[in-house]
Amino acid sequence: MISNSASTAASLSVSKIIPLCMSGFIGLFVVGFVGFSHMEVVHNASHDTRHSLAFPCH
């Protein structure tokens, strides 16, 4: 019984790691692409979105 619960705990932690890592990669992509984009349209769209959500960005 102990090994069964240990394997269940290990599988639960692995099932949580994958979504966390994917969320982190998506967040880094968004910050890296939008935040440092040289395309003015992309940067201004994100800037306007931040302001519409009352998120300070200056």
Instruction: Tell me the three-class secondary structure of 1-58, residue by residue.
Output: CHHHHHHHHHHHHHHHHHHHHHHHHHHHHHHHHHHCCCCHHHHHHHHHHHHHCCCCCC
pTM for the structure as a whole: 0.49
Q: What are the sequence ranges of the domains in the chain?
A: 24-58
Give the pLDDT confidence score for residue 21 in this predicted structure. 92
- Inform me whether the pLDDT recorded for 14 exceeds 90: no
pLDDT in tens, 19-43: 999 999 998 887 777 777 778 887 7
Q: Are 46 and 34 in contact (CB under 8 A)?
A: yes
Query: For residues 19 and 12, what is the distance between their CA atoms, to the nearest angstrom?
Result: 12
